[in-house]
Amino acid sequence: MAEIKGKSPRTVIAVTDGVAIPSRRDPGLFTAWRVSFAGALLAVILLVTFKPDPYLQILKFLPDGILITFEVTILSILLALVIGLFTGLGRISRNRFINGLASVYVEVIRGIPLLVQLFYIYFALGRIVNVPPITSAVIAMAVCYGAYMGEIFRAGIESIHKGQTEAARSLGMTSVQTMRHVILPQAFKTILPPVGNEFVALLKDSSLVSILAVSDLLRRGREYAAQSFAYFETYTMVALVYLIITLFLSKLISIMEDRINAGGK
Amino acid sequence: MRAVNNNVMIRVRDVVKCYGELTALNNVSLNVYDGEKMVIIGPSGSGKSTLLRVLNRLETIDAGEITVDGAKVNDPATDINSVRKEIGMVFQSFNLFPHKTVLENVNLAQMVVRKRSRKEAAEISRELLKKVFISEKEDQYPTQLSGGQQQRVAIARALAMKPKVMLFDEPTSALDPETIGEVLEVMKNLARDGMTMIVVTHEMGFAREVADRIIFMDRGSIIEQGTPEHFFKNPIEERTRLFLKQIL
């Protein structure tokens, strides 16, 4: 999870999850990331080449699941961003009711394991409307991650100096205009790294939706294992595919961060 | 320079402002006239910045009444945003928007608040940037500018709203000595154009040259007020003398 430090006006949001922590002593070529990524890639290639039965079959069976995993992850993160923005705004609202509502939401969600939430929302929704499992899975993931995202937005917004709001308001801008034109564009830079981090975390957690009859990567693996009894081989492959995807995404995010930090303020 | 007439632009009546135990403003009353240049001086913590900040409701008040150009600032029925667009404010720490270029900084509120088109806004902005001698920097970002340059852009940004009053909250206190002059120069030009100005500052040279009236504040109250001549030749109050002795 993203760790949000202190309440100082310049909030620092440190990211430590999932991504290899860069060390200055890393000898150029052999960074932890490179070793893991190349290792995983090499393992897949070797297994598929020298033991196509069952590894190639497994690999051929998985792409549908990978697509579903991405679909669930992307839809969930987009929805979570929207929920998170409003939660974050609610958490800094001076309106007691709105603030209380947002705070209770964050507390409740953070206090319940994601797996329990998934079950709960899946069956609760099922009682009211008949939606496909993937829809309730996305809603459940988004409701959960929206709470964490809300804290990221809150910290990001609070990290912008009070003088910015004062300058905008003194020019006659409304609080909504100030948020939209002055605060959020600046907060975006602070928010992006932890949001990227949440994205990777959400992708991993999306494997939980396999219990809700959603044919994601993990469930496809389970289906293959159940019919072939090649449990060990299947889960080896599933783990490697997850690893390659998350490592790849982490790298992408850190490149994006560098770009943004290098760009003008 | 004395373009003051008798129309009251800002009326402050018995204003009280407390921060917990601390009384920042203690029954302050004051009229500022159309076209007047008022300089507020006083030791730190005397309430002079607070007085400025209650005028456009950046701080709320606990008692009293403030009207700006006829609008009651603290009346809940008043649209504070429409009052604020008539009151330009310049801050000690400039508070330019760092994610926007100089030109965009001056454009933004014109487009968002005054609903001017980008073209129209840019025209006004460029004219003002010329007025504060910083035309050549319009595509730069605030961090690329010196403090004095940033403050001049901040003045242009406030002027772009065509305000009726300009408030300056220690505009030169965060500046390197060599850039103070350029900011004061811009402010003097503005005074010459007849702008109604309230300036909180420690620049006594500026006060002497520009002010129609100087207000000395201490511990939340106005202790003494008068013309620069009165102030620098024979202030009456002991506290005023003490303060001036320290600062001059």
> Would the pLDDT of B24 be above 70?
yes
Chain A hits for B142, Cβ within 8 Å: 265
Record: contact B95-A163, CB cut-off 8 A: yes
Q: Is the peptide bond before A54 cis (omega within 30 degrees of 0)?
A: yes
To 10 degrees, what angle do helices A63-92 and A184-205 make?
Answer: 140
- CA B198 to CA B205: how far, in whole Å? 16
Q: Which two tokens stand for residue B104?
A: 């965009």
Task: Pick from A170, A186, A265 the residue to mutate for testing the B interface (most B CBs within 10 Å).
Answer: A170
Residue with tokens 């679909």: A71
Pair type for strands B37-41 and B165-169: unpaired
Output the CA torsion sign for A207, A212, A214, A218: positive
Which of A164, A172, A174 is the closest to B97 by Cβ? A164
Hey, is A193 helix, strand or coil?
A: helix
Lowest mean per-residue pLDDT among B5-9, B222-226, B239-243: B5-9
Confidence of residue A257 (pLDDT cuts 50, 70, 90): confident
Question: Which residues of A are less than 8 Å from B113 in CB distance?
Answer: 171-173, 177
Mean per-residue pLDDT over chain A, rounded: 87
Contacts of B89 in chain A (CB under 8 A): 167, 170
Check B112 against A170: CB less than 8 A apart: no
Q: ∠ CA(A23), CA(A238), CA(A116), 5° rounding? A: 90
Mean pLDDT of A118-139: 88
Q: What is the mean pLDDT of chain B?
A: 94
d(C-alpha B169, C-alpha B59), whole Å: 14
Contacts with A30 (C-beta within 8 Å, 6 or more apart), sequence order: none
Contacts of B162 in chain A (CB under 8 A): none
pLDDT score for A23: 55
Rounded percentage of chain A residues whose pLDDT exceeds 70: 88
Nearest-CA neighbor of A66 among A249, A219, A199, A260? A219
Whether residue A29 is predicted with pLDDT greater than 80 in this model: the reply is no
Residue in A closest to B89 by C-alpha: A170
**CB-based burial label for B168 (10 Å; 0-12, 13-18, 19+):** buried
- According to DSSP, residue A233 is labeled H
**Partners of B18 in beta bridges:** B23
Query: Of A160 and B247, which is predicted with more confidence?
Result: A160
Q: By mean pLDDT, which of A181-185, B120-124, B241-245 is the weakest?
A: B241-245
Supply the pLDDT for residue A132. 87
Please, where are the H alpha helices in B57-146? 80-84, 102-112, 118-131
Mean pLDDT of B155-183: 96
Residues B203/B247, Cβ–Cβ less than 8 Å: no
- State the average pLDDT over residues B10-35: 95
State what percent of residues in chain B have pLDDT above 90: 92
pLDDT tens digits, one per residue of B188-231 = 999 999 999 999 999 999 999 999 999 999 999 999 999 999 99
| Nearest of B84, B141, B135, B94 to residue B114 by alpha carbon | B84
Predicted pLDDT of residue A38: 92
> What's the confidence (pLDDT) of residue A7?
43
Encode pLDDT of A169-185 as tens digits: 999 999 999 999 999 99
Closest chain A CA to residue B163: A171
pLDDT tier for residue A22 given thresholds of 50, 70 and 90: low
Instruction: Return the pLDDT at A154.
Output: 95
Average pLDDT over residues B15-35: 94
* A94 neighbourhood in chain B, CB within 8 Å: none
In this model, does residue B91 exceed pLDDT 90?
A: yes
Q: Tell me which H or E stretch contains A142.
A: helix A133-158
Q: How near does any CA of chain B get to the CA of A265, in Å? A: 5
Strand partners, B224: B216
Question: Which residues of chain A are at the B interface, by a Cβ-Cβ cutoff of 8 Å?
Answer: 161, 163-164, 166-174, 177, 181-182, 185-186, 264-265
Per-residue pLDDT, averaged over A194-217, amounts to 92
From B85, B97, B154, residue closest to A182, measured CB to CB: B97
Q: Collect all residues of chain B within an 8 Å Cβ-Cβ radius of residue A261.
A: none
User: Minimal Cα–Cα distance from A169 to chain B, Å?
Assistant: 8
> How many angstroms separate the CA of residue B59 from the nearest CA in chain A?
10
Give the lowest-confidence range in A20-34, A45-59, A71-85, B137-151.
A20-34
* pLDDT > 60? residue A264: no
- Residues A187 and A150 sit within 8 Å (Cβ to Cβ): no
- Would you call A264 and B141 a contact, using CB atoms and an 8 Å cutoff? yes
Residue of B nearest to A182 (CA): B97
Element (H, E) at A126: helix A114-128
CA distance B43 to chain A (A): 22
Edge-first strand listing for the sheet containing B37-41: B87-90, B165-169, B196-200, B37-41, B213-218, B221-226
What does the pLDDT average to over B44-60?
95
CB atoms within 10 A of CB A175: 15
Q: What is the predicted ipTM? A: 0.92
* pLDDT in the model for residue B239: 92
Residues of A in contact with B141 (CB under 8 A): 264-265
Q: Is residue B156 within 8 Å of B134, Cβ to Cβ?
A: yes
pTM of the shown model: 0.82
Closest alpha carbon within chain A to B98: A265
Q: Is pLDDT of A124 > 90? A: no
Is the model more confident about B169 or about B248?
Answer: B169
Tally A–B CB contacts below 8 A: 63
Q: Which one of A171, A173, A175, A181 makes the best mutation probe of the B interface by having the most chain B beta carbons within 10 Å?
A: A171
Which pLDDT score is estimated for A8?
Answer: 45
